[in-house]
């Protein structure tokens, strides 16, 4: 097993401020909440103090209703399950505990007080090669461990890589990860997901793919960003960017060394069959330079035997759960799963939206134009349906129709007639397509 690399040395970055001890609300009698570290559409993150141990942690507070309305339950459960299986590796953000109430889910995780690596890159620009290599070594160590556990991250980018107070890299955000049970009988994946600038071409093309090789591509983009200060494939037009990816249309800055260029070039191979794996990267001279090899030790177990002797004095709930074969997370969400379907369309994204508007008018729905491109809302009674279309590559349009609000009986009666109307533009249906299109260019 690849040993975890040492912490990166000081690289001219200012040291992150030490988080202040919380002095706020007591959460479920176990944690004292402090200042907010960040927030998003469905969750917010606070620093907190364990009342029992006085340890500082981070608590991710997830709003159940917002998450359920957006169909995000599978992503939350997947994130928890992946972190549970991987929390022994020193470069994976450690999960301590999961708690839930009727309206909220609380993920208690290791505090990465250094913040996002992305923020440091924005602040300081490109890194020296030795510093970039240290971060890359830690990322490769974590992903090698993930892949040996049968888990592919599928959204590797600087925004999902955190730093602790000592500068150690911590891989986080496993919401788009693939677990062993998500693979086909051939060991391949089908779900299209990730951030365009960092996503492998075979994933975007909706082909069956090897999750580990897809992570390799993202690592190539990541290393380029560390050394250059910008992404290799950058264009405001996503389709044009994908064409550049297929042609390997990018240029190395003259300050990147030839050995580093070789590694990046072999990782950014559009053909996954010939693309270098992360495991192969670890055998290159460039990777091994300046790396120490302390023996990897699991934070809880004395040996590789998962039923081996417990050696830690502070054992979390997830340490004990990891002794069992599985963890039932189905009770976290009480809300029923709303109706939704995804399909590849025979028309353009604009055609999908126009079709949705015509269907809405025909069936007596309120047609709600959205500010977002290629999105339309349909309302009838208490039921609200959102139709969204996106062109992944030229000629490949994926559409999603989902109920976001409504009573169960009313929803059932409206759904069938609505979906029948879309049949004439359906090329093929997808049981598990998660499309995330956003601009994450440095």
pLDDT at 136 over 80: yes
pLDDT of residue 128: 93
pLDDT of residue 162: 94
Residues present in the chain in total: 442
Half-sphere exposure for 183 (CA within 13 Å, toward CB): 15
Report the Cα 335 to chain-centroid distance in Å.
24
pLDDT of residue 4: 53
- Choose the weakest-confidence range: 98-102, 229-233, 237-241, 434-438: 434-438
Most confident segment among 110-114, 181-185, 428-432: 110-114
What DSSP designation does 300 have? S
For residues 125-137, give the mean pLDDT. 93
pLDDT of residue 334: 53
pLDDT of residue 84: 87
pLDDT at 93 over 90: yes
For residues 203-228, give the mean pLDDT. 92
Query: What does the DSSP assignment read for 115-169?
Result: EEHHHHHHHH-SPPHHHHHHHHHHHHHHHHHHHHTT-B----SGGGEEE-TT--E
What DSSP designation does 209 have? B
pLDDT of residue 216: 97
Rounded mean pLDDT of the chain? 79
Burial of 236 (0-12, 13-18, 19+ CB in 10 A): exposed
Phi-psi region of 371 (alpha: psi -120 to 50; beta: other; left: phi over 0): alpha
Q: Which residues are annotated as a binding site for ATP?
A: 60
Nearest C-alpha neighbor of 88 from the set 325, 316, 329, 327: 316
Query: What is the C-alpha to C-alpha distance for residues 349 and 258, in angstroms, rounded to an integer?
Result: 43
Active site residues: 155
Q: Which residues are annotated as a binding site?
A: 60
pLDDT (tens digit per residue) in 405-416: 877 777 777 888
For residues 21-27, give the mean pLDDT. 71
Most confident segment among 179-183, 269-273, 365-369, 407-411: 269-273
For residues 385-399, give the mean pLDDT. 84
Domains of the chain: 26-111 (3.30.200.20), 117-296 (1.10.510.10), 340-430 (3.30.310.80)
Nearest C-alpha neighbor of 84 from the set 434, 334, 328, 307: 328
pLDDT at 25 over 80: yes
């Amino acid at each position: 097993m690849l040993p975890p690399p040492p912490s990166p040395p000081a690289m001219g970055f200012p040291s992150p401020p030490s988080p202040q001890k919380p002095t706020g609300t007591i959460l479920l009698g176990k944690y004292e909440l402090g200042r907010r570290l960040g927030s998003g559409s469905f969750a917010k993150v606070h620093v907190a103090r364990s009342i029992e141990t006085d340890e500082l942690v981070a608590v991710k507070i997830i709003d159940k209703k917002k998450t359920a309305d957006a169909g995000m339950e599978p992503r939350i459960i997947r994130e928890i399950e992946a972190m549970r299986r991987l929390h022994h590796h020193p470069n994976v953000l450690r999960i301590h505990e999961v708690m839930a109430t009727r309206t909220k889910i609380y993920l208690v995780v290791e505090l990465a007080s250094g913040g996002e690596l992305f923020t440091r890159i924005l602040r300081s620009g490109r890194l020296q090669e030795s510093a970039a290599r240290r971060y890359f070594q830690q990322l490769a160590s974590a992903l090698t461990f993930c892949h040996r556990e049968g888990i592919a991250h599928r959204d590797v980018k600087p925004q999902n890589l955190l730093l602790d107070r000592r500068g150690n890299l911590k891989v986080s955000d496993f919401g788009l990860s693939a677990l062993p049970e998500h693979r086909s009988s051939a060991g391949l994946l089908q779900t299209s997901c990730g951030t365009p600038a960092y996503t492998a071409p075979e994933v975007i093309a909706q082909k069956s793919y090897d999750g580990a090789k897809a992570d390799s591509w993202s690592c190539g983009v990541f290393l380029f960003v560390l050394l250059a200060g910008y992404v290799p494939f950058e264009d405001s037009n996503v389709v044009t960017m994908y064409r550049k990816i297929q042609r390997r249309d990018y240029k190395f800055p003259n300050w990147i060394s030839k050995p580093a260029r070789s590694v990046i070039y072999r990782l950014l191979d559009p053909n996954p069959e010939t693309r270098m794996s992360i495991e192969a990267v670890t055998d290159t001279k460039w990777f091994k330079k300046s790396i120490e090899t302390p023996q990897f030790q699991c934070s809880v177990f004395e040996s590789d035997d998962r039923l081996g002797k417990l050696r830690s004095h502070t054992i979390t709930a997830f340490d004990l759960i990891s002794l069992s074969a599985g963890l039932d997370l189905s009770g976290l969400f009480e809300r029923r799963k709303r109706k939704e379907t995804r399909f590849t369309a025979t028309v353009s994204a604009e055609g999908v939206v126009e079709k949705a508007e015509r269907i809405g008018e025909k069936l007596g729905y309120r047609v709600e134009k959205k500010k977002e491109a290629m999105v339309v809302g349909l309302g009838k009674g208490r039921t609200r349906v959102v139709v969204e279309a996106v062109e992944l590559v030229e000629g490949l349009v994926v559409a999603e129709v989902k109920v976001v609000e409504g009573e169960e009986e009313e929803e059932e009666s409206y759904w069938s007639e609505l979906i029948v109307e879309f049949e004439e533009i359906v090329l093929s249906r997808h049981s598990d397509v998660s499309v995330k299109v956003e601009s994450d260019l440095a």
